[in-house]
Structure 1
Amino acid sequence: MQQPFIGAEAIAKGALTRHTLRTRFTAIHDGVYLAVGTELTPRLRAQAAWLRSRRSGVLAGFSAAALYGARWIDACHPAHIIDDNRRRESGIVVWGDAIDEDEIRMVAGMRVTSPMRTAIDLARKFPPAVSIPMIDALARKTKLTRAQLLAALPRYAGRQGIVRARMAFALVDPGAQSPPETRLRLLFLSAGYPWPQSQCPVPDEFGCVIGNTDGGWRRKKIGYEYEGEHHLTVEQLRYDIWRYEAMREAGWNILRFTSRDGDATILARMAKAWDAAERHSAACDGGAGIRAKTALSSLAAQCRVLGADGDGTRVTVGRKSAQKSPNRHTQGGERRPRS
């Protein structure tokens, strides 16, 4: 048995003997067992917590997120459940919060808080540095948007932690594909940079997309990437070399970060790239201004040659009044051939 189970039920069905239960399985909660040597995952912890409640509790928080398929949950996180049995026990956190029926879903035969209620609980009960990466992952998997999250807040007005939840929801981006991407976005926002576009597309000179960066600013042609372990495979390294070189040729500055880069290093590199982009933009704008000024000067010179109207008609000024005399090459406003 690779899944958690209630020992008394297994014995009653004749699936196990008491001796087998004691020697080949270990109790992870009161009356709930798992095969010896089985590695606990967030999903297994959630299943065990639900069985501990005798199938009456509602899985919440990180446990609910795990059942919805959200990634990047630390296997050491305790299970979260809303239940009447609040007796303290290792590996499980019980919440006594009120919950309505419309906030409950059935997932894999277990009662689970809805995606929206799960996000609300995470944002209320955990600091933003913990909750936002998890809500990013949950929202990405369940198709929740930042606008939907913010719109749901009035229902929970007055509940403990709702102010913190409002701040967290304002910074959620379902486009982030990993916690490091979320942390980079939050770092740049806290430093005063504009909101970066997640999975930012980088086009070549013909408008074809070379690839996407974890985040970036298209107008500045700055992108950033977090280099995790999956970038270390031979195939990925080859692809990355081609991709980054193509992006560089397209005029983009791609900043690559790893787990060894501290906040100060990351911000210093971003500031340097941003300043370079600003100087480049100013130079381009200045060149455009010079070209425009030159064009206007040339047009003015042509007007002086052709006449004040600029249409090939001279303006002759007499003593009493000004009258237009047709150019010898024009008649009735149309050009005629020379005789």
Structure 2
Amino acid sequence: MEDPQWDAADFSGMAERLYRYSELLASGASREQVRRLAETSRLYRLSRSIYGRSPAQRLHLPAIFRRLPDTAVVGFYTGAQLHGFGDVRNRDVHVIVPAGENVPHIRGVVAHEAVVPVGDPVFLGGVPCAPAARCAVDLARLLRRMDAMPLLDLCLRVGACQPEDLRSEVARHERLRGVCQARQLIPLADPRAECRQESQLRLVLIDGGLPPPEPQIWVSDRDGVPLYRLDLGYRLRRVGVEYDGISHLDRTRLRHDRARMNWLAANGWQMRHFTDLDLYHRPAHIITTLTPLLRP
């Protein structure tokens, strides 16, 4: 027979708390009572053996962490998302644990053994998370160059960390897989990049042997009033480089672009536009198009 006193327990204050199944049983609840509370939405099963008062997604990570070792911290893709620069989506929850730590198998959780200690974690979303620079460097080591560059740019753009933080962190990863790539890309990271394709186009130019372009160049009229902003460019050569995505197919945008292009051409700017076909399937075409315009 159910204990009505426990079933009517005051759950105020539990909204931000999580309970293991064993803790609920230890408090005096029976298995049947826990089941009924879950059926009537007074408790929610958030993860295996973890319950809480709210089904909110933000409780998902804390629920998982109740099942992980105390040494675990969020990192990699999940850490980048919590820090605000999760440019590469990944549905799994990625955590970092010390080498040799025993981690239970949890569906959807990927545990990375840390060769390099994480250092002091920061608390985001109710869970301990590796510092932003650590998440960025770990991903810069493992992702493709074309994916790593936008992530590093975005990390700086949102202010998750500073360039010196990235330089200091990558120095700690000596001899780890992919560290050479991370060391090459970190000096190129630029917070002025405004989209993924812009970052990738900039990398194509640099990898193709061209000088690093300046992101987000403002072009002014004769009175010094800024009129137009270019994705990338070489100010001294008056060469502009832009990525045209699907938004440029809009009729209103097309009219604006035509007026803009005519003004830039009349004022000595040589503009070159590229699409996803160029960026992802024929990057050599981009280099051969721009090289003659940038020769000394």
Both structures adopt the same fold (TM-score exceeding 0.5):
yes
Mapping of 1:147-296 within 5 angstroms?
A: 147-232=164-249, 236-262=253-279, 265-276=282-293, 278=295
1:267 to 1:221, Cα distance in 2 relative to 1, 3 A: farther
After superposition, the Cα gap between the structure-2 partners of 1:109 and 1:222, relative to the gap in structure 1 and judged at 3 Å, is same
| Alignment partner of 1:73 is 2:91 | no
Q: Is the 8 A contact 2:84 2:160 kept in 1?
A: no
Aligned counterparts of 2:63 and 2:293: Cα–Cα separation in 1: 54
Q: Distance in 1 between matches of 2:176 and 2:34?
A: 48
TM, length-normalised to structure 2: 0.70
CA distance in 2, matches of 1:264, 1:250: 32
Q: Secondary structure at the match of 2:188?
A: coil
The question of whether the paired residues in 2 share the 8 Å contact of 1:103 and 1:117 is answered with no
Higher Cα Rg: structure 1 or 2?
Answer: 1
Say if 2:134 and 2:169, in contact at 8 Å, map to a contact too: no
Q: Check whether the contact 2:62–2:126 (CA below 8 A) recurs between aligned residues.
A: no
Deviation at 1:44, TM superposition (A): 8.2
Alpha-carbon separation, structure 1, partners of 2:281 and 2:125: 44
Identity of aligned residues (%): 24
Q: In the TM superposition, what is the alpha-carbon distance from 1:49 to its structure 2 partner?
A: 4.7
Distance 1:125 1:270, change over 3 A: closer
Match of 2:48 in 1: 30
User: Equivalences for 1:44-193 in 2 at 5 Å?
Assistant: 49-50=64-65, 52-53=67-68, 57-74=72-89, 76-83=90-97, 84-97=101-114, 102-142=119-159, 144-193=161-210
The one-letter amino acid of 2:130's match is T
Alpha-carbon distance in structure 2 between the residues aligned to 1:157 and 1:262: 31
Amino acid at match of 1:201: W
Question: Which amino acid is the alignment partner of residue 157 of structure 1?
Answer: E
Distance across 1 between alignment mates of 2:232 and 2:50: 44
- For residue 261 of structure 1, what is the amino acid of its counterpart? D
User: Structure 1 stretches of 5 or more lacking a match?
Assistant: 282-339
Shift of 1:197: 0.9
1:50–1:245 CA distance, 2 compared to 1 (3 A)? farther
Alignment of 1:315-326 (within 5 A): none
Higher RCO structure, 1 or 2 (CA under 8 Å, sep 6+): 2
- Going from structure 1 to structure 2, the CA distance change for 1:264 and 1:17 (only over 3 Å counts) comes to closer
Aligned residues of 2:140 and 2:181 also touching (Cα < 8 A): yes
Aligned equivalents of 1:147 and 1:47: distance in 2?
31
Gaps of 5+ in 2: 1-15
**Given residue 252 of structure 1, which amino acid in structure 2 is its aligned partner?**
W
- Report which stretch shifted further, 213-222 or 244-253: 244-253
Q: Compute the displacement of 1:143 (Å).
A: 5.5
SS in structure 2 of the partner of residue 244 of structure 1: helix
Provide the C-alpha distance between the structure 2 equivalents of 1:78 and 1:109, rounded to a whole number of angstroms.
Answer: 18
Alpha-carbon deviation of 1:194? Answer: 0.5
Supply the AA of the counterpart residue of 1:60: G
TM-score, with length taken from structure 1: 0.63
Q: Deviations over 1:10-37 (max 9, x none)?
A: 97899x9636747999978534689xxx
Kept in 2, the 8 Å contact 1:216–1:224? The answer is yes
Tell me: CA distance 1:256–1:31, structure 2 relative to 1, closer, same or farther (3 Å).
farther
* Matched residue count: 271
Determine the structure 1 residue equivalent to 2:11: none
SS state of the match for residue 198, structure 1? strand
State how far apart, in whole Å, the 2-side matches of 1:242 and 1:52 are: 60
